[in-house]
Amino acid sequence: MADESAILVKGVSKSFGKKEVLQGIDLDIPNAEIFGLLGPSGSGKTTLVKLITGIETASAGEIFVRGVKVPNLKVFNMIGYMAQSDALYQELTAKENLEFFASLYGLSGARRKQRIEETMELVNLTDALNKQVSAYSGGMKRRLSLALALIHQPGILILDEPTVGIDPILRQSIWAELDKLSQNGTTIIVTTHVMDEADRCHRLGMIREGQLIAVGSPNDLLAQTGTANIEQAFLRFGGVSV
């Protein structure tokens, strides 16, 4: 049932004009799970997470977030979303960006100040808090985008390629924080191309050409295919001999 899942996707398809980019997707993601979406560029991962957030609407099927059918403004405060493209105000400082987005979620006063400090420490940008975003490097902008997604401590966190352009040490730190958030009840969806990140997810959904070709824990997917790693498992589920 919809109210027993953090995210429930039922028979969802999505077309843009005559092009069908998702076909009959079914997913049931429980609370506190780290769920990875794995697939090549153009496979439909970003479209699927946009449908879950309500940014896009499905051509067919239904999506529920904590029992609420999307799109619906009720899910706005439930979700923290980090897109592939950084949605930042370049002319403002990082602090001003964070203050603006925090105000959208109703954070103010000491609580807002605390969350800004906590999130900027997490992404290792404390020293650049008062720096104008236009002077940030690409990697710094990705880290600030992650801070914005986390600012209101959402119950559901959706991250589209979150660690692109981030150095390996900080990437490990971010994943340690994702593990901690999950242990405290946050449901997390991560799209990724990085195989060691896929291994850190509780379950994976493998997407190829708009279709969900496999769902399961990394160990289950390896066992089903008799392969040595997730990359080989993905190829096997896609019908490629390895």
Per-residue pLDDT reduced to its tens digit, 179-221:
999 999 999 999 988 888 999 999 999 999 999 999 999 999 9
pLDDT at 178: 93
Is residue 242 very low, low, confident or very high in pLDDT (cuts 50, 70, 90)?
Answer: low
Percent of the chain with pLDDT over 70: 98
The overall average pLDDT reported for the chain is: 93
User: Averaged over 25-40, what is the pLDDT?
Assistant: 96
User: Averaged over 144-168, what is the pLDDT?
Assistant: 92
Distance CA 174, CA 176 (A): 5
3-state secondary structure string across 88-135: CCCCCEHHHHHHHHHHHCCCCHHHHHHHHHHHHHHCCCHHHCCCEHHH
Class of the domain covering 2-237:
alpha beta
Is 0.85 surpassed by the pTM of this model? yes
pLDDT at 1: 38
User: Averaged over 216-233, what is the pLDDT?
Assistant: 96
Q: Does position 43 have pLDDT exceeding 90, yes or no?
A: yes
Each domain of the chain, given as residue ranges in start order, spans 2-237
The order of strands in the sheet holding 79-82 is 79-82, 156-160, 187-192, 34-38, 203-208, 211-216
